[in-house]
Amino acid sequence: MALLRRHWLSAGGASRSRPTVARVAARLPLILVLAHVLASAPAVAAIEGEPAATRATPTAAVRVDGTTLFHVRGVEAYPAQVRASAIARTLKAVAESKRFKSDTLRIVESDFGTEILAGSLRLMIVVDADAELENVTRAELARVIAPRMVTAIRDYRDARAPGALLRGVALAGVATALLVLLFLFFNRTWKGIAARLEAAYRKQVKSVGIGTFEILRPDQLWVVMGGMIGALRGAILLIAVFIYVEYVMGLFPWTRATAGAIQEQVKGPLESIGRGVAAAIPNLIFLVILFLVVRYLVKLLGLFFAAIGRGEVALGGFERDWADVTFKLLRGVIIGFALVVAYPYIPGSSSDAFKGISVFAGILLSLGASSAVANTIAGYLIIYRRAFKVGDVVKIGGTFGHVLAVRAQVTHIRTVKNEEVVVPNSLILNSEVINFNTLIQERGLILHTTVNIGYETPWRQVEGMLLAAAQRTEGLLTEPPPFVLVKELGTFAILYELNVYSSTCGGMALLYSAMHRNVLDVFNEHGVQIMTPAYEGDPESPKVVPRARWNLPPADPPADAPDR
């Protein structure tokens, strides 16, 4: 086979100075040998132990002036591309020679295959390997190829006729003039078109912002829009230049093949994109329908749970406070289910790149969102357990104050010092929560304070003084009445606890402060000493503040103070 190929090349190179038809005739012996090789290709494949059907089929297109006539098969020693080029050169040689008439082509059967002859000159031998590509016989394939060769020869001659060349030059001149006019039109009128578009834009478009904060001003938006309009102008001109080059090069036979190659290079990717978009249209329609269904389902659920939250719809055992959080949970479940359903229909979801990004996002979510997920779950559990709600006065760990907001991740609490404390929900779930509002509507909230009084003071007197202090404190309930408990008989003193009822917990600090002041006043009035925590012995005189010293500077006596 290698010797055969070298013989073909040497024959072609040695005959470059001969007339065109003579060069073709010099290669005829090689064509006969090639026919024998192609005809025996299936037998060679069987001898090598590999079925012919499983072997690759190298083929090449026979092109004349950029037009594909047919395809031929080759072998390893004589590739299909080389064979196709040789046939094309033979056709061109016949077309350039005035001695050959296009109607003299004939088909003749020989020992090597079906020959297509131009007079006595063989243009091509159709062998069984060629016919196998089209699943027809050699004779049928030859009868199809021969008319194409006749047409190619006529077109080749017509394209190089003086009249055709002059017509091509004229059409190229017209196309050039149109392209120049198009460029002049854009250069002269585009500024006016852009100015009118800008004027209309500024009338309709305002600044984009949040409240009084401007995110984008009209001038900044127009820079973007102007860039898009300029890109559109460039794209139009670029398409015009491409159409011009392809058209002009297609007018002349010598550049027609190049025009076809340029068209394939540009149209190939565009056709691939178009086929991809067309193939994705059914999936996109499904995604749009799924989006609309999910959107309106979520909107319907939002309206339903909003009605529950307003009390317009009542469900047995379902609290109004649960409406918003339940809606958010169901919305997340529905959207998550929709994403799972939509995933296979997303264009490119089956690609390795898309899968890699999905795995990477999953790893980041699992590594970095553990605390966020824990806080979110804790937030929902807190709401459904009804531990507290917005507006309640609670004590969580060392934080005491009003609940401002219960969010998915954290709870906001405002302390009595007007400080906002943000507590993670996972911490609340693992901590003791005291809610002062839960039972306040039933019997009121019990405020309590303790004092240590010595054994020498009668307990009845102490209880009377504590109850008197409670009666003086405004803002406390008289029903149920306050009461006193003897909590502990200590080593040096008795521990008394005053318990009073309140209908509100909003001003607990002020109520405690007023009650403590009244306790001090009552005990001082009766000369009873409140024991200090450290005790060494009884003092010579009770540690009390006489009434005459209650309002020492800088304290001012109240105008309506009772005279006791």
Tens digits of residue pLDDT in 371-400 = 666 667 766 677 666 777 787 888 887 788
Q: pLDDT grade, residue 419 (50/70/90)? A: confident
Q: What are phi and psi of 346, to 5 degrees?
A: -75, 130
Q: pLDDT grade, residue 467 (50/70/90)? A: very high
Please write the tens of the pLDDT for every residue from 98-113: 777 766 677 888 877 8
- What pLDDT, on a 0 to 100 scale, did the predictor assign at position 484? 93
Share of the chain above pLDDT 90, in %: 9
Buried b / exposed e over 55-78, threshold 16 CB at 10 Å, is eeeebbebbbbbbebbebbbbeeb
- What pLDDT, on a 0 to 100 scale, did the predictor assign at position 380? 67
Give dist(CA 475, CA 507) in Å, integer. Answer: 9
For residues 521 and 506, which has the higher predicted lDDT (pLDDT)? 521
- What pLDDT, on a 0 to 100 scale, did the predictor assign at position 469? 92
Please write the tens of the pLDDT for every residue from 119-136: 777 888 888 888 887 788
Residue 442: closest CA among 476, 385, 480, 478:
480
Q: pLDDT grade, residue 45 (50/70/90)? A: very low
Give dist(CA 305, CA 297) in Å, integer. Answer: 12
Q: What are phi and psi of 168, to 5 degrees?
A: -65, -40
Strand partners, 121: 118
Please write the tens of the pLDDT for every residue from 425-445: 777 777 788 888 777 777 778
Q: Among 42-51, 260-269, 379-388, which stretch is predicted with the lowest mean pLDDT? A: 42-51
Q: Which residues contact 379 (CB under 8 A, 6 or more apart)?
A: 406, 407, 408, 409, 410, 411, 425
* pLDDT of 320 above 80: no
Please write the tens of the pLDDT for every residue from 526-563: 888 887 655 566 677 776 777 776 766 655 666 655 54
DSSP codes of every residue in 183-212? HHHHHHHHHHHHHHHHHHHHHH---EEETT
C-beta of residue 82 within 8 angstroms of C-beta of residue 156: no
Residue 153: closest CA among 274, 17, 62, 71:
62
HSE at residue 291, side-chain half, CA atoms within 13 A, is: 9
Q: pLDDT grade, residue 15 (50/70/90)? A: very low
- What pLDDT, on a 0 to 100 scale, did the predictor assign at position 163? 84
Pairing of strands 445-453, 494-502: antiparallel
Give dist(CA 564, CA 562) in Å, integer. Answer: 6
Residue corresponding to tokens 């009542």: 314
Give dist(CA 204, CA 403) in Å, integer. Answer: 45
* pLDDT of 368 above 60: no
- What pLDDT, on a 0 to 100 scale, did the predictor assign at position 43? 40
Alpha-helical regions (H) of 369-439: 370-385, 425-429
Give dist(CA 530, CA 519) in Å, integer. Answer: 10
Give dist(CA 331, CA 297) in Å, integer. Answer: 9
Alpha-helical regions (H) of 311-454: 322-342, 352-368, 370-385, 425-429, 440-443
* pLDDT of 485 above 80: yes
- CB count within 10 Å of CB 236 equals 13
Give dist(CA 26, CA 95) in Å, integer. Answer: 18
Q: How far is CA 417 from CA 78, 400, 428, in A?
A: 95, 10, 21
Q: Treating both helix axes as pointing N-terminal to C-terminal, what angle do 138-159 and 80-96 enclose, rounded to 10 degrees?
A: 50
* pLDDT of 330 above 80: yes
Give dist(CA 504, CA 436) in Å, integer. Answer: 9
Mean pLDDT to the nearest integer, 462-488: 90
Give dist(CA 72, CA 53) in Å, integer. Answer: 17
H-run or E-run covering 7 = helix 2-14
Mapped onto helix, strand or coil, the DSSP state of residue 476 is coil
